[in-house]
Amino acid sequence: MCSKLLKEETDKISLIYSPSSSVAAPEQLLLRPYLQSEKNKITRTRRKMVGPGRPQFVLFGSSIVQMGYNVGGWGAIFADLYARKADVALRGYSGWNTRMALQVLDRVFPKDADVQPSLVIPYFGGNDATNPHPSGLGAHVPLLEYVENMKKIILHLKSLSDKTQIICLTSPPVNEAKVREIFRNGLDDQARTNEGCRIYSEALVDLCKELDIEAINLWTAIQQRDEWANACFIDGIHLSAEGSKIVVREILKVLKKVNWEPSLYWLSIPAEFPEDSPYYVVGPDGKTTLNVSSHISTWQMQWLDI
């Protein structure tokens, strides 16, 4: 709403300021300095509305992203690690495939946005890889079309800014027995298979190599864990807390390995407002305060060995 009002005010000023306006020329000349000043104020206000100058990370995908802020979810873990360092935004849409993602791509990631994300982590593929339904309806997308759709998504994200980085996530494996147990009642013919997820995952990895984009093969990474089929999923498809930890660990490995400038690895980004303050808790010496701006919690220490 605020953004809409600001736009309306800017449009009004632009109309009056325009040489083609019905305002008489002498009045235009008198008003120009004031109007330009007001327009500058509105522009500055619009820029301020995006918040502090933190990097913005966007997780974009289907239900595995939408559920990422569940307790123990990978989005929640990621946001916790980057607290006070980066804003982690969730753009998850349960049930979506790459066809649906393309329909909203320009709205989720407008090219004319005042601030563009520093990192986008797209995840699509699990729904695309489901078996086709005889009716032609459903989430299935043929493999070649899936690859082409992902290419369009990646190229759009790359065009947002020179600083926008991308890490693609492939489809994880599935616990087929659990899927059959939970998702019954006529959905069996649309189920995804572990083999189908493998094929779509490898196709995405190959595409990312072609486009020089980082990719994480979750199909492979998750299956390296003992008892993965039961430990890493809540229903055979969606990630448990254990599965989410694997996703975060793989993302952090990439962020630590790559030579991006600036670095987006969580330990490399300074905390916002890191200055010392007399208002922090007083230290053991009784004379100085303890700066906790970069404090690493006991829970976060498990991520230090990446």
Torsion region of 236: left, alpha or beta (phi above 0 gives left; psi -120 to 50 gives alpha): left
Provide the token pair at 216: 């994480």
Residue 68: closest CA among 110, 141, 122? 122
User: What are the backbone dihedrals phi and psi of residue 60, each rounded to the nearest 5 degrees, phi first?
Assistant: -125, 120
> Of 80, 156, 161, 235, which is the active-site residue?
235
Of 118, 128, 171, 238, which residue is the catalytic one? 238
CA distance 272 to 55: 11
CA distances from 291 to 68, 116, 269 (A): 31, 31, 17
- Count of beta carbons in the 10 Å neighbourhood of residue 231: 15
What's the DSSP call for residue 123?
Answer: E
Annotation says 37 is catalytic: no
Nearest to 205 by CA among 220, 195, 224, 194: 220
Catalytic status, residue 62: yes
Q: Could you give phi then psi for residue 79, rounded to 5 degrees? A: -65, -35
């994300």: which residue's tokens? 117
Active-site annotation holder among 62, 63, 118, 244:
62
- Active site amino acids: 62, 235, 238
